[in-house]
Amino acid sequence: MTQLVTDIICPFCGTLCDDIEVEVSDDGKKIIKVTNACAIGAEKFLHAQSPDRIVRPRMKQEDGSWKEVTYDEAAKYTAKILCDAKKPLMYGWSSTSCEAQATGHMIAELVGGVVDNTATVCHGPSLIAVHDVGIPSCTLGEVKNRADRVIFWGCNPAHAHPRHMSRYSIFSRGYFTTKGSKSRKIIVVDPRPTDTASVADYHIQIQQGRDYELIDALRVALQEGPLPETVAGVPKEKIYDIARLLKSGRFVTIFFGMGVTHSLGKNHNIDIAIALTADLNKYTKAAIIPMRGHYNVTGSGQVLGWQFGFPFCVDLSRGFARYNPGESSANDLLMRGEVDANFVIGSDPGSHFPFKSVKVINELPSVCIDPHMTPTVAVSKCHVPVALVGIEVGGSCYRMDNVPIESRKVVDPPAGMLTDGEFLELVLTEVQRIKGVAA
């Protein structure tokens, strides 16, 4: 007999869908079928069961081959490289629980490390903008129930957050949006005619990198001010039309993604998008939400925020928290050769950092805590496989709209495998021993 486990949280993207159903074998060890999840979420659950999964820590040998070690040995190596280093980089944190993050930050404080999370290649500029100008935001529940004008600016949820549109932003029926997509006008701003644009009412094919100009033009158009014939490749009539459409709505929500944060202008693009949202509140109700990527990148920002006062790139090397994106951020530190040990958890900089940074990691004493084989593992000296949060162990996570959700355990991890939290506890104990600090 199989059992059905319901109300599972999907630990892949910031949508943090909470309605996944998983059929497991009666001994609770094997996942048989995943329903309700999108293709990416389902694959995440199924890959946990992969027969070639690496289940024990290992150290890279001189010839590049791997040698199995115990968790204790791996923890000792990790503690040693962190304690020996003057400025270790402790990067990632976005695919693990808030509890594990909190333990990791205790280690970072003791060793004087720099803690940075994946926002640094994702929504870091958004966080800088929020510091500069604040943010009028709302929850995804409000979007579902109220939003009748939805903008996707530089994001493509059809590919990156596949169930976002059906659960919250386009097709879902809410209290004041009883007709689903017919209750809403959807606008997509993207230099490509994306799959999200194909289900929208309006696609604005902006020239890549010209977001600031177009948002500024929309602010002018809200007041019916003068505009040149085209802005960012968009004719002025279309800009006036969109401004009127937004003003006529009861509840506008702007979702924005990497198209804005990765392009030149960066945090300034978001400053002005937030200013546009604030302007819209003179005519109607408006909110703006970043489309966060990893399922708990928002949680990492929250935990760092309540522990140290800053949401990413926190430098603890002087014994107190400093924050200066561009200086204390992972890629700048790596490319300038300012770190002397590298620690990665819950992310894959080997795939997602510019190669110039990856090459530096390859030369450093380094550890990568990751359930699977990745390019980061390939360039690290020690690999520690762990149980998957949200599948093999529970833990708190924050959805993209800053709502905390408790993820659940579905099946047991492979026998003898530790969780992130348990491994970090081992490292913490060893660091305390080396530093002569009472536990």
Partner 1 sequence: MTKITVNLITGRTIQQGVSMEAGKEKEDYMKSCGIIELDAVDIAKLGIWKNSNVRVVSDFGSVVVKAIEATQGPHPGLGWIPMGPWANMVIDTNTYSTGMPTFKGTPVTIEPAEKETVLSSIDLVLNACKE
Interacting stretch for ligand SF4, rule CB under 6 A, among 37-45, 227-235, 341-349, 369-377? 37-45
Binding letters toward partner 1, positions 273-312, x by CB under 8 A:
---------------------------------------x
* Among 40, 59, 106, 138, interactor with ligand SF4 by CB under 6 A: 40
d(CA 222, CA 84): 57
- 140 and 285 in contact (C-beta within 8 Å)? no
Interacting stretch for ligand SF4, rule CB under 6 A, among 13-21, 26-34, 74-82, 404-412? 13-21
- Alpha carbon of 167 to those of 104, 154, 181, 259: distances in Å? 33, 20, 11, 23
- The partner in contact with residue 275, picked from ligand SF4, partner 1, none with C-beta cut-offs of 5 to 8 angstroms by kind, is none
Binding of residue 10 to ligand SF4 (CB under 6 A): yes
Q: How far is the CB of 161 from ligand SF4 (least distance, A)?
A: 5
# residues contacting ligand SF4 (CB under 6 A): 13
**Could you say which residues in the range 59-98 bind ligand SF4, by CB under 6 A?**
none
Binding of residue 37 to ligand SF4 (CB under 6 A): yes
Q: Give per-residue burial for 396-434: e unless 16+ CB within 10 Å, then b.
A: bbbbbbeeebebbbbbebbeebbbbbbbbbbbbebbbeb
Q: How far is the CB of 386 from partner 1 (least distance, A)?
A: 16
**Could you say which residues in the range 305-324 bind partner 1, by CB under 8 A?**
312-313
59 or 378: whose CB is closer to partner 1? 378
328 or 419: whose CB is closer to partner 1? 328
Q: Which two tokens stand for residue 102?
A: 């909190």
What is the residue type of 313?
A: C
Binding of residue 348 to partner 1 (CB under 8 A): yes
Q: How far is the CB of 198 from ligand SF4 (least distance, A)?
A: 18
What is the residue type of 255?
A: F
d(CA 100, CA 83): 19
Q: How far is the CB of 327 from ligand SF4 (least distance, A)?
A: 33
Interacting stretch for partner 1, rule CB under 8 A, among 90-98, 144-152, 349-357, 421-429? 349-357
Binding of residue 120 to partner 1 (CB under 8 A): yes
- 369 and 75 in contact (C-beta within 8 Å)? no
d(CA 137, CA 139): 7
162 or 191: whose CB is closer to ligand SF4? 162
Nearest Cα residue to 368 out of 387, 353, 385 = 385
Q: How far is the CB of 83 from partner 1 (least distance, A)?
A: 26
Binding of residue 41 to ligand SF4 (CB under 6 A): yes
- The partner in contact with residue 189, picked from partner 1, ligand SF4, none with C-beta cut-offs of 5 to 8 angstroms by kind, is none
Binding letters toward ligand SF4, positions 134-173, x by CB under 6 A:
---------------------------xxx----------
Binding of residue 261 to partner 1 (CB under 8 A): yes
Q: How far is the CB of 147 from ligand SF4 (least distance, A)?
A: 18
- Alpha carbon of 392 to those of 48, 54, 191, 387, 413: distances in Å? 9, 15, 40, 6, 5
- The partner in contact with residue 420, picked from ligand SF4, partner 1, none with C-beta cut-offs of 5 to 8 angstroms by kind, is none
Residue ranges that bind partner 1, judged by CB under 8 A = 12, 38-40, 43-44, 46-47, 50, 116, 120-121, 124-125, 128, 156, 158-160, 162, 191-195, 197, 205, 208-209, 258-259, 261-264, 266-267, 312-313, 325-327, 329-332, 335, 348, 350-359, 362, 372-375, 378-379
Residue ranges that bind ligand SF4, judged by CB under 6 A = 10, 12-13, 15-17, 37-38, 40-41, 161-163
